[in-house]
């Protein structure tokens, strides 16, 4: 009976140790950052190590400290890139688009909580089993509109015919992995569901209420006031910019795709221009007021009680509800991956633009989150996995050894 009690006690202690390690993972206190040094140079060196382990065609990274660029790193396997090199940034387009939409809100041209169909004449939401009047600009910006399109735009090659916005919303031709139909499929406001079509509807909204093309409005309302001279949603509008090669993950290159869904996926920009955009989120700027930036950065949609999306940017909190880090990633289109983050409190940030790899930009940006703010994501946990398993099993070995030692001494 004594032996059974001692074994039960040992099992209990082992469970306590396991729970401690699990808590250390969730809390982040047992995880190691990508570098122990707190300098931008050290972070860049650590990032270089990751790049050496995976294929990357070209890569541009900018680190921001206290609202100013502190360091850059550029890499390519052929034509050199720099802070002015133009990359396709995929879904980061949505964050920049939100600035344009919220500018119209500030001007009183549109209202965040008015049904979107109120502003549209060229296309309107198709009938569904849900109330389309609940679909508003606020819900479209925050991916809580109830749309179930699951887009993911691939874009069109130079030989393809571009759809109109209306045609794309009826059935997107560049959506091979989803239905691509803009229709409400769950109760608006009830949950977070990422929607590319939601931002195409916002693109249509801008054109309807301003009477301008989306490209012209965004240039006038956002790019020019922020000094983003090397940014465009339509490449033909700025043909003389320094474009990077778009590498696929098989190391070959491909031409740039064109998009109907400009607002959701078609921005081309540089680290220099994105630095200006990030700075606009943490300082006085000529586009949006501080009050609007605060509204934009406040969580609107939640998963398990954790805020995940504001009115345009993602909210990066994970295990820290007090986090003030916002941003956006972009990926897909064999093979583009981009990431931008800014801490509204410290004014520290990171920008990574690359082609040739589906996830290295997001991965390094997640490492930055933990390095700067102690916010641990899947990437950080996976990198620490061998170390964590070592801690776990060394703890088991020590505890079992201590238990055996006690038993041996009691027998003497």
Render 91-120 in DSSP notation, one character per residue: THHHHHHHHHHHHHHHTTSS-TTSBGGGG-
Domain 40-375 belongs to what architecture? 3-Layer(aba) Sandwich (3.40)
Pick from 106, 126, 130, 110: nearest CA to 118: 110
Distance from CA of residue 89 to its chain's centroid?
11
Element (H, E) at 268: strand 268-269
Helix, strand or coil for residue 262? Answer: helix
Question: For residue 412, how many other CB atoms are within 10 A of its CB?
Answer: 4
Distance from CA of residue 127 to its chain's centroid?
31
In tens digits, the chain (412 residues) has pLDDT values of 667 777 788 888 888 888 888 877 777 778 889 999 999 999 999 999 999 999 999 999 999 999 999 999 999 999 999 999 999 999 999 999 999 999 999 999 999 999 999 999 999 999 999 999 999 999 999 999 999 998 889 999 988 999 999 999 999 999 887 888 999 999 999 999 999 999 999 999 999 999 999 999 999 999 999 999 999 999 989 888 899 999 999 999 999 999 999 999 999 999 999 999 999 999 999 999 999 999 999 999 998 888 899 999 999 987 677 889 999 999 988 999 999 999 999 999 999 999 999 999 999 999 999 999 988 877 888 887 887 888 888 888 888 888 888 777 776 6
Backbone angles phi and psi of 349, in degrees to 5 = -155, 175
Distance from CA of residue 214 to its chain's centroid?
23
Q: Which residue has the tokens 């396991």?
A: 18
Element (H, E) at 140: helix 137-141
Question: For residue 13, how many other CB atoms are within 10 A of its CB?
Answer: 16
The pTM score is 0.92
Pick from 10, 221, 186, 209: nearest CA to 114: 209
Q: What would the two tokens of residue 22 be?
A: 């699990």
Pick from 121, 153, 206: nearest CA to 336: 153
Listed in sequence order, the DSSP H helices in 268-355 are 271-281, 290-296
Crossing angle (nearest 10°) for helices 360-373 and 40-53: 150
Measured distance CA(336)–CA(58) in Å, rounded = 10
Q: What would the two tokens of residue 319 be?
A: 């295990």
In sequence order, what DSSP letters do the residues of 335-403 get, joined into one string?
TEEEEEEEETTT--EEEEEEES-SSHHHHHHHHHHHHHH----HHHHHHHHHHHHHHHHHHHHHHHHHH
Output the pLDDT for position 319.
Answer: 62
Q: What does DSSP assign to residue 412?
A: -
Asked if 77 contacts 325 with a C-beta cutoff of 8 angstroms, the reply is no
Measured distance CA(57)–CA(319) in Å, rounded = 33
Q: What would the two tokens of residue 285 be?
A: 């700027």
Asked if 176 contacts 160 with a C-beta cutoff of 8 angstroms, the reply is no
Pick from 150, 134, 148: nearest CA to 185: 148
């Amino acid at each position: 009976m004594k032996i059974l009690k001692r074994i039960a006690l040992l099992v209990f202690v082992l469970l306590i140790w396991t729970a401690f390690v699990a808590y250390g993972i969730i809390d982040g206190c047992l995880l190691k950052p990508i570098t122990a040094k707190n300098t931008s140079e050290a972070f860049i060196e650590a990032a270089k190590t990751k790049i050496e382990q995976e294929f990357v065609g070209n890569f541009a990274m900018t680190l921001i400290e206290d609202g100013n660029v502190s360091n850059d790193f550029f890499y390519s396997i052929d034509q050199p890139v720099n802070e002015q090199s133009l990359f396709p940034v995929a879904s980061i387009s949505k964050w920049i688009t939100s600035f344009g939409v919220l500018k119209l809100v500030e001007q009183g041209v549109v209202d965040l909580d008015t049904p979107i169909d109120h502003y549209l004449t060229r296309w309107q939401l198709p009938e569904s089993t849900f109330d389309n009047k609940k679909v508003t600009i606020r819900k479209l910006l925050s991916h809580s509109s109830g749309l179930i399109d699951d887009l993911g735009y691939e874009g069109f090659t130079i030989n393809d015919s571009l759809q109109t916005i209306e045609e794309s919303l009826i059935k997107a031709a560049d959506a091979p992995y989803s239905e691509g139909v803009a229709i409400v499929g769950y109760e608006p406001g009830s949950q977070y569901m990422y929607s590319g079509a939601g931002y195409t509807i916002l693109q249509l909204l801008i054109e309807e209420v301003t009477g301008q093309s989306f490209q012209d409005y965004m240039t006038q309302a956002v790019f020019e006031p922020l000094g983003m001279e090397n940014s465009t949603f339509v490449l033909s509008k700025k043909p003389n910019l320094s474009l990077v090669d778009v590498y696929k993950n098989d190391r070959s290159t491909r031409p740039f795709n064109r998009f109907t869904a400009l607002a959701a996926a078609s921005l081309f920009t540089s680290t220099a221009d994105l630095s200006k955009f990030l700075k606009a989120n943490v300082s006085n700027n000529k586009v949006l007021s501080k009050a609007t930036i605060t509204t934009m950065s406040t969580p609107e949609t939640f998963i398990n009680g954790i805020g995940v999306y504001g009115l345009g940017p993602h909210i990066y909190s994970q295990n820290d509800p007090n986090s003030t880090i916002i941003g956006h990633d972009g990926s897909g289109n064999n093979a583009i991956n981009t990431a931008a983050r800014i801490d509204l409190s410290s004014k520290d940030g990171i920008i990574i633009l690359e082609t040739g790899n589906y996830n290295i930009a997001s991965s390094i940006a997640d490492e930055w989150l933990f390095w700067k703010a102690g916010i641990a994501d899947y990437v950080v946990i996976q990198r620490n996995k061998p170390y964590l398993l070592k801690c776990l099993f060394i703890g088991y070995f020590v505890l079992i050894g201590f238990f055996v030692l006690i038993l041996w001494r009691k027998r003497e």
